[in-house]
Structure 1
Amino acid sequence: MVPNEVEAERLRATRLADAVVIADARSPLGLSQAVAAAGGPADLTVVCVDVPGCEQPAILSTAQGGTVIFFSMATNFAAAALGAEGLAADVTMLVGNGYVPGHAAYALDLLRADADVRAMFEARLSE
Structure 2
Amino acid sequence: MEKLTEKDKELIRVSWESLGKNKVPHGVIMFSRLFELEPALLNLFHYNTNCGTTEDCLSSPEFLDHVTKDFLLNLGKKHQAVGVNTQSFVVVGESLLYMLQCSLGQGYTAPLRQAWLNMYTIVVAAMSRGWAKNGEHKTD
TM-score, normalised by the number of residues in structure 2: 0.28
Larger helix percent: 2
Q: Which of the pair has the greater relative contact order for Cα pairs under 8 Å at 6+ separation?
A: 2
